[in-house]
């Protein structure tokens, strides 16, 4: 289905979409608040330029959801291929120009998509730290296993117990190696415990909208 053309007008050769922030700024300027409008307009243009740059790193699934104009998508693809500094700078200026043509609803959708990606990355980082903290606790405390099962009851208990036993044996061997002046090496079970805990902390479809589980008690 063809996309409906955006309503708007041209000012000094630049297209201004009706209802866009640029449209509102220009209308305020016409009402007499010239100096404030120029300052706000510059700040908004810089903000849109930054949004355009951030779109280059937006995940494809989020980018597709925005339904951006084909011209802007083509410009973003071209920017990703440009390695020359000056050429990239000019391309980003062009992307900023295209961003200023977007209506306010589309700009808001872009901001929301970028925020969603950022918060998702923060949640992923938190889960990494939590998996490390749980591994440390599980290797140090037998009671920690019951606490873990309350968070991830789907865990293969027998497999996790086997990994914990082996990791503790490996830790004793590593301590002996250190005393003998040899370089310590983490065993395979130590890494597998981390991977199992990471999987257990991943959100499911039912709780993907909720924050990650709280950190284990006693964790730094």
Which residues, including other chains, have CB under 8 Å from residue 87's CB and lie 6 or more apart? none
Domain that holds residue 38: 8-102
64-114 pLDDT per residue, tens: 888 889 899 999 999 999 988 999 999 999 999 999 888 888 888 898 888
| pLDDT score of 62 | 83
| pLDDT score of 100 | 87
Residue 110 lies in a domain: no
Distance CA 53, CA 55 (A): 5
Count of structural domains, the chain: 2
Among residues 122, 123, 100, 121, the alpha carbon closest in space to that of 110 is found at 100
Instruction: Tell me the three state secondary structure of residue 13.
Output: coil
Residue 215 lies in a domain: no
| pLDDT score of 44 | 78
User: 131 and 94, same structural domain?
Assistant: no
| pLDDT score of 211 | 47
User: 132 and 84, same structural domain?
Assistant: no
Q: Which residues of the chain have pLDDT under 70?
A: 1-6, 12-13, 28-38, 121, 183-186, 204-220
User: 187 and 133, same structural domain?
Assistant: yes
CATH assignment of the domain containing 130: 1.10.60.30
Distance CA 209, CA 10 (A): 42
Distance CA 38, CA 26 (A): 9
Residue 218 lies in a domain: no
Taking the complete model, does pTM exceed 0.85, yes or no? no
User: 98 and 129, same structural domain?
Assistant: no
User: 22 and 95, same structural domain?
Assistant: yes
| pLDDT score of 215 | 55
| pLDDT score of 35 | 53
Residue 220 lies in a domain: no
| pLDDT score of 131 | 92
């Amino acid at each position: 289905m063809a996309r409906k053309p955006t309503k708007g007008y041209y000012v000094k050769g630049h297209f201004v979409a009706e209802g866009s922030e640029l449209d509102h700024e220009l209308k305020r300027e016409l009402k007499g608040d010239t100096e404030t409008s120029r300052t706000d307009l510059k700040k908004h243009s810089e903000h849109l330029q930054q949004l355009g740059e951030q779109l280059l790193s937006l995940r494809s699934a989020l980018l597709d959801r925005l339904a951006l104009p084909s011209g802007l998508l083509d410009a973003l693809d071209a920017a990703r291929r440009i390695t020359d500094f000056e050429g990239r700078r000019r391309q980003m200026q062009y992307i900023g120009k295209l961003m200023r043509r977007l209506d306010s609803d589309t700009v808001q959708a872009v901001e929301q998509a970028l925020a969603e990606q950022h918060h998702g990355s923060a949640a992923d980082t938190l889960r990494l730290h939590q998996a490390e903290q749980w591994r440390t606790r599980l290797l140090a405390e037998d009671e920690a296993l019951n606490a873990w099962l309350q968070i991830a009851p789907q865990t293969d208990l027998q497999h996790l117990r086997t990994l914990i036993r082996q990791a503790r044996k490996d830790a004793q061997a590593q301590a002996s190696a250190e005393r003998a002046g040899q370089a310590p090496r983490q065993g395979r079970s130590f890494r597998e415990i981390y991977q199992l805990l990471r999987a257990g902390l991943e959100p499911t479809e039912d709780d993907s909208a909720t924050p990650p589980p709280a950190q284990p008690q006693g964790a730094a």
